[in-house]
Amino acid sequence: MWEAIRSNRRRSTLLIGLMGASLVALGFVIGMVFDPSAGGPIGAAAALGLWLVLLFVALSQGEQLLLLGANARQIQKEDCPRLWNVVEEMTIASGLASAPKLYIVEHDAPNAFAVGTKPEKAAVAVTSGLLKRLDRDELQGVVAHEISHISNLDARVMTIASVMLGSIVLVSDLFLRSLWYGGGRRTSRKGGQAQIVFLAVAILGAVLAPLIAQLLYFACSRRREFLADACAARFSRYPEGLASALEKIALQPSSMPEVNRALAPLFIVNPLQPFGISGLFSTHPSAETRIKILRSMGGGAGYVDYEAAFRKVTGAASRCLGESVLAVEKTVPARGAAGEPDPKQAAIERAQEVGALLGTLGDYLSVPCPCGVGIRIPGGFGGESVRCPRCGRVNSVPLAGPSPAGPLAGSSPEAPSSAAAPPLHYQRRGKSWESFRCSCGKTLQLSPSFIAPSLRCPSCRRIIEIGPAGAADRALSSAAPPLLP
């Protein structure tokens, strides 16, 4: 496997080197237009300096800039235990030292991407649509694919390549705009016919260089997707999970048209690329081809099985994986599907999970009324009860209060907002998704599978005891409050 990864890195290094040569050559020609005697070296140095500045910004803050551009928000384990557990499983399977941070993008189209110039700074972002539509096996396949990109250092290479592409586009755009708005008056008149030639070459280079750089950038991206798919099949030991997920993601019509073109190649399926389309201007191999390869692996989930399926589907003479890896690798049997006892009920629970998660991130508190209406209360609401807009019932706002057992020994009553303060208490009303507010105002949610006796508020760090919903509690919670006159 490392042979294939090294081969990809060498190929990417060559492609990025060609992009760098294009940038320096473009800067040299543009410099000669403005000063035929000494402008060439100055222009080349200026273009290279611009790239170094942008590269420094990308390597130091690239992850946050990309996540900010996607409107991604970080989540914690208590926000989405299902996703968190899958990420932890695939982190162990991949051999990464630490799990990546998790982010969610509020968008109904299912998709995901990974960023990180270093594994310890990496992050995986998924859309809310992905969490709603994918079962656990499918989600595991997608997460395994993204973690493969992190462990293979693909995100670092793509960050450098995208910065190089952005530098070429920026230099070309500045030059063409200077000609358009300046009318060529700023160029030197001492060059004669030589300067006219340089001007023509510079204009041609400014038009073609971004196009050539974009083709090289796309080539960097395409070569890595097959390898990430192979790793995902091996990590999850269930190729059908990723194949089914790719099918659901790729078949979404007009997926995410507002996505920035610089960010699109990072997604598991390019949201701007139609299903089944692949070519010079494609950032990813055809999703249809990737699905066929995964489903042609038979009962295996190893690298040898993926290589055989790759050759069968593509008919390629060249190998997808390295010879040294294939020489020592053996077939890995695929596991069976985890399955869901009731797929319809599972889909409802996933929708409830995502709704609760988005409500928590937006600081909305969900108050279920016995008539079936879910009342969403925005942050800053100071009342202790709220009236249902349908039936008029008065529903109490779920809040964490003082612990019935009293303060813990050694706690500090003078610091109610600190981690050393007496614990709060919240009594569960049932075993479904429910949310409540800490005394500091932070909205928290509990999943149906939450069984811990307490949790810590991520805002004020105060411990909150969670009481299980007993028979008396369920009776009280199911009793309808009186109607308001």
DSSP 361-416: HTT-EEEE-TTS-EEEE-TT---SEEE-TTT-BEEEPPB-EE-TT-PPTT--TT-T
Same domain assignment for residues 204 and 259: yes
> Structure tokens of 257?
């048209």
Specify the number of domains making up the chain. 2
Angle formed by the axes of helices 239-250 and 287-295, nearest 10°: 160
> For residues 401 and 424, is the Cβ–Cβ distance under 8 A?
yes
50 assigned to some structural domain:
yes
Same domain assignment for residues 65 and 33: yes
Catalytic residue among 146, 225, 240, 349: 146
Same domain assignment for residues 27 and 151: yes
Report the chain's terminal Cα–Cα distance, integer Å: 72
| Cα distance between residue 123 and residue 188, in whole Å | 50
| Cα distance between residue 316 and residue 39, in whole Å | 47
Q: Which residue has the tokens 């030197």?
A: 188
Q: Which residue has the tokens 């019932």?
A: 393
User: CB 221: neighbour CB atoms within 10 A?
Assistant: 22
pLDDT at 474 (0 to 100): 46
399 assigned to some structural domain:
yes
Question: What are the pLDDT tens digits along the chain (485 aa)?
Answer: 555 555 556 666 776 677 778 888 888 888 887 777 777 888 888 888 887 887 787 777 778 878 888 889 999 887 888 999 999 999 999 999 999 999 999 999 999 999 887 888 899 999 999 999 999 999 999 999 999 999 888 877 777 777 777 777 778 888 888 777 655 544 445 555 666 777 787 788 777 877 777 776 666 666 688 889 999 999 999 999 999 999 999 876 546 767 776 677 788 888 876 654 555 556 678 888 899 999 999 889 988 899 889 988 988 666 777 676 677 778 889 999 888 888 898 898 898 888 888 887 887 888 888 898 888 888 778 788 999 999 999 998 899 988 776 554 444 444 444 556 889 999 998 877 888 999 888 888 888 878 889 988 888 999 999 998 763 444 444 444 444 44
> For residues 32 and 46, is the Cβ–Cβ distance under 8 A?
no
485 assigned to some structural domain:
no
Same domain assignment for residues 376 and 319: no
Same domain assignment for residues 220 and 170: yes
350 assigned to some structural domain:
no
Same domain assignment for residues 124 and 246: yes
pLDDT at 429 (0 to 100): 85
Domain boundary among 311, 343, 375: 343
State phi, psi for 402 to the nearest 5 degrees.
Answer: -60, 145
Same domain assignment for residues 234 and 161: yes
| Cα distance between residue 427 and residue 216, in whole Å | 58
User: CB 312: neighbour CB atoms within 10 A?
Assistant: 13
pLDDT at 479 (0 to 100): 45
Active site residue 146: yes
> For residues 116 and 156, is the Cβ–Cβ distance under 8 A?
yes
Angle formed by the axes of helices 154-182 and 2-34, nearest 10°: 10
Collect all residues with Cβ–Cβ distance below 8 Å to 341 and sequence separation of at least 6.
none
Please give the single-letter amino acid code of residue 36: P
Furthest CA-CA distance within the chain: 95
Rg (CA), the chain: 28
Same domain assignment for residues 399 and 298: no
352 assigned to some structural domain:
no
Same domain assignment for residues 379 and 337: no
Range of the domain at 467: 363-478
Domain boundary among 343, 378, 403: 343
| Cα distance between residue 262 and residue 20, in whole Å | 18
Same domain assignment for residues 179 and 245: yes
Q: Which residue has the tokens 């982190």?
A: 91
Which SS3 state, helix, strand or coil, does residue 467 take?
strand
159 assigned to some structural domain:
yes
Same domain assignment for residues 222 and 122: yes
pLDDT at 5 (0 to 100): 56
Same domain assignment for residues 51 and 183: yes
Residue 248: closest CA among 337, 139, 150? 139
255 assigned to some structural domain:
yes
| Cα distance between residue 153 and residue 388, in whole Å | 52
Domain boundary among 343, 377, 412: 343
31 assigned to some structural domain:
yes
| Cα distance between residue 83 and residue 79, in whole Å | 9
> For residues 132 and 80, is the Cβ–Cβ distance under 8 A?
no
